[in-house]
A and B are shown apart, each in its own frame.
Chain A
């Protein structure tokens, strides 16, 4: 139980560092002086100190929604596969629950965007709903197919089973699921081909448009939520597609897991540097590719057993 709680705390604490790390890696690749890895924490404390201003046009939703955006994600963190062997984990939560919780959080984010009563908010919400509607089927299919390969529909149990028995005989479908999940990781977290989190230009904004009106504590909460969303996806990727390192004793297993998270973050940063932002109407093509790969993974597993 103590290891389980330690895992949850570790994931929550490392979340802002990972996002700062991606940004720092990108700056190094652009030959700029990188920001510190603690920048996420610095922003957080700075925002906590700032005054919180709420627009007169908004209703009570603006005051409640940031917490409702964060809480489903925090619940999801408790359902992730274990990162240390012998730790407590929740075994019965399946692909639908995790996708549902993440979409619940997205739903409140969209409500928040609509409630801000500015043209930007509504535009951002409409784009976000457009993207998340395309992400969901692919995500359910991908996690479902990996869970089938691991012989258990529960995501936590699947992660444990994958470590115990690596699916060598299903390598092809495993690979397709991995490709699909990586595209989803990028799309759902608003990384570059889909959304650019660093600009405030109306043409490129999706995520930033919805939270443009927020200040102070609420903005800090939303930023924490987006970093936790990234850590959920990265941790799912690490447990389901890099299944090793669970058999070591706790400190080594933690270090291995953190290394895996940083490898994923590096991959995302390199991918971001090498691609340009897609037009909004080209995004269905990218996500269609994810759906094709997810479906392909499932059908390869069923028909060929490969």
Chain B
């Protein structure tokens, strides 16, 4: 079950990389976060950790519903172009994504020898880290960059959840407040973008 959700996590991130629509990107980000929340819930039920369950619920509420909704509203308010153009040609991303995946999968082999955990969790979270960096790099608009940043945070969260059986509750709440701050900053950025236009 966990493998299945991790697979969906990576699949939604790859779909986000290839989409050319703004709302599609938000939708795939929301799916990505939903999978993450379900994963946290699943692991929390497995190891009977109340804090993990709470984190899962908060993840679904904030990241899967709240942030995409706010971003959609904001981009609607500021009239952003609904087509997002990638700086890299699609053909090159089709080559880049498998290269990144193969590289990170082999990269995870020595890491797994050091910390005793399931190899695929580490590998998929590191590869999603690289994929979100690619998402930030290949777009020049502000919204995809933000989504890339948020996806980066998601993949770090995935690494924390799966590799170490959950970070301390305090750290996770801290990260959530960080995110909320980030959304405030993003709002300012949007205003600036608006003034440029």
Q: A: which residues have CB within 8 A of B?
A: 168-176, 179, 284-285, 288-289, 291-293, 295-296, 299-300, 303-306
Asked if residues B91 and A300 are in contact (CB atoms below 8 Å), the reply is no
* Assembled-state Cα–Cα distance A161/B7 (Å): 22
Asked if residues B97 and A285 are in contact (CB atoms below 8 Å), the reply is no
Q: Which of B100-120 contact A (CB under 8 A)?
A: 101-102, 105-106, 108-109, 118-120
Asked if residues B4 and A172 are in contact (CB atoms below 8 Å), the reply is yes
- Identify which of B4, B7, B14, B98 gathers the most chain A CB atoms within 10 Å of its CB: B7
- Identify which of A169, A299, A300 gathers the most chain B CB atoms within 10 Å of its CB: A300
B6 at interface by CB-CB < 8 Å: yes
**Closest residue of B by beta carbon distance from A173:** B7
Asked if residues A300 and B105 are in contact (CB atoms below 8 Å), the reply is yes
- Identify which of B18, B90, B94, B118 gathers the most chain A CB atoms within 10 Å of its CB: B94
Task: Report B-chain residues with C-beta under 8 Å of the C-beta of A300.
Answer: 105, 120
Asked if residues A296 and B4 are in contact (CB atoms below 8 Å), the reply is no
Task: Report A-chain residues with C-beta under 8 Å of the C-beta of B7.
Answer: 171-176
* Assembled-state Cα–Cα distance A295/B106 (Å): 15
The minimal Cβ–Cβ distance linking B74 to chain A, given in whole angstroms, is: 25
* Assembled-state Cα–Cα distance A291/B98 (Å): 10
Q: Which secondary structure dominates where chain B touches chain A? A: helix
Q: Which of B1-48 contact A (CB under 8 A)?
A: 1, 3-4, 6-8, 10-11, 14-15, 18
B71 at interface by CB-CB < 8 Å: no
Known: A291-B94, A296-B98, A299-B98. A285 touches B18 (CB 8 A): yes
Asked if residues B6 and A172 are in contact (CB atoms below 8 Å), the reply is yes
**Chain B interface residue count: which class?**
20 to 34
The minimal Cβ–Cβ distance linking A168 to chain B, given in whole angstroms, is: 8
Q: Which of B80-108 contact A (CB under 8 A)?
A: 90-91, 94, 97-98, 101-102, 105-106, 108
The minimal Cβ–Cβ distance linking B90 to chain A, given in whole angstroms, is: 5
Return 22 A-B CB contacts under 8 Å, by A number. A169-B3, A171-B1, A172-B3, A172-B7, A172-B124, A174-B7, A176-B11, A284-B90, A285-B90, A285-B94, A292-B97, A293-B11, A293-B14, A296-B14, A299-B98, A299-B105, A303-B102, A303-B106, A303-B123, A304-B119, A305-B120, A306-B124
Task: Report B-chain residues with C-beta under 8 Å of the C-beta of A172.
Answer: 3-4, 6-7, 10, 120, 124
Task: Report A-chain residues with C-beta under 8 Å of the C-beta of B10.
Answer: 172, 296
Asked if residues A292 and B14 are in contact (CB atoms below 8 Å), the reply is yes
* Assembled-state Cα–Cα distance A174/B1 (Å): 12
Asked if residues B91 and A289 are in contact (CB atoms below 8 Å), the reply is no
- For the complex of A and B, 8 pairs with smallest distance between CB atoms: A306-B120, A172-B7, A171-B3, A175-B7, A288-B94, A303-B105, A171-B4, A304-B120
Asked if residues A175 and B4 are in contact (CB atoms below 8 Å), the reply is yes
* Assembled-state Cα–Cα distance A295/B99 (Å): 10
